[in-house]
Amino acid sequence: MDPIALHYDVSGTDFTCAGEASGKIKKALKELGFPTSITRNVAIAVYEGEINMVIHGGGGVIDAEITPECISITLTDQGPGIPDVSLAMQEGYSTAPDNVRQLGFGAGMGLPNIKKYTDEMVIETEVGKGTTIKLKVFVK
C-alpha cells in the first residue's frame, strides 16, 4: 500500500479541543486494522505531544505518515523552543504554569511518556524559533 498521509492543525488557545487530532489519528489507525497496542501507543504519544503544543507551543501542526510497517508522526510548533532538552526529558521536570496543572497536566511526564510509547523520538528545537518532534512506532 502507498503511505497514507494525514495532516491536522492544532489550536494554541483552545485547551478543550486538545486531543482532537490524536483521537482522529487513533481512529484512522483502528480503521486500518492496526493492533490495539500499536494504536494505543501512538495515540498516547501524539496526545502528550498535542497537549504540549497547546500548553507551550502556541499550537502547531501534526503530520502522520502510515505504512504497514511503521507509523511516523511529526509535531511542529513555532513556540519558544526548549532551552535544555535533557532536563525536559527528566520525569517530573515541568515549566507548565499553575493553571495547566489544575487541568491535570504539567506533571513533567509529557516528554518521558512520549519516549516510553514510541520506538524512535527525535527532538529538534531552537529557542525563540520552535520545536519539532519526530516519532516512529514500528509495527512488529
Select from 129, 119, 98 the least CA-distant residue to 41: 119
Task: Give me the helices (H) in the chain, please.
Answer: 20-31, 36-52, 85-88, 98-101, 110-116
For another protein, the closer CB: 78 or 95: 95
CA distances from 8 to 14, 39, 53, 82 (A): 15, 17, 12, 22
For another protein, the closer CB: 3 or 35: 35
CA distances from 20 to 8, 47, 62 (A): 9, 9, 11
Query: Least Å distance between CB 44 and another protein?
Result: 5
Interface residue with another protein among 4, 103, 122, 127 (CB under 8 A) is: 103
Rounded to whole angstroms, the Cα distance separating 139 from 48 reads 20
For another protein, the closer CB: 7 or 27: 27
Considering the rule CB under 8 A, would residue 34 count as an interface residue with another protein?
no
Binding letters toward another protein, positions 38-57, x by CB under 8 A: --x--xx--xx--x------
Strand, coil or helix: what is 5? strand
Query: Least Å distance between CB 20 and another protein?
Result: 8
Binding site for another protein (CB under 8 A): 15-16, 18-19, 22-23, 26, 36, 40, 43-44, 47-48, 51, 103-110, 112-113, 116
